[in-house]
Amino acid sequence: MVVRNRLEQLRKRQRDEALQAQEELLAGVAQSASNPWGSESVPQLVAPETISSEEMDEYDPVMSPTLLDITKLPPEERDIDILTEKEVLRALVCLLS
């Protein structure tokens, strides 16, 4: 029962953090949409809130999502590009410049 309650607390915290991150991203998208592409303004990153060590949970492998077996997906969903981190960063830099 204790573990189940703790897991639910962690899930609620993750949902809250995800909603907050989504709101920040939407605010950033709205701001960039209002600026013309040629403007030289660079969006400012928001510093994450500092979390005390008491609030921070120790990592447990159970917290990680399970891996997705792409072979079990329907063919139309399997047709995705798999990019390396370097390729993603290169594409991002191209979009921003």
Q: What distance in Å separates the CA atoms of residue 61 and residue 27, rounded to the nearest whole number? A: 33
How confident is the model over 31-82, as pLDDT tens digits?
A: 666 655 455 555 555 566 677 767 777 888 888 888 878 788 888 887 777 7
pTM for this model (two decimals): 0.34
Structure confidence at residue 48 (pLDDT): 62
Pairwise CA distance, residues 9 & 36, whole Å: 42
The alpha carbon torsion through 32, 41, 86, 50 (nearest 10 deg) reads -80
Q: What is the pLDDT of residue 26?
A: 82
CA angle 36, 40, 44 (to 5 degrees): 95
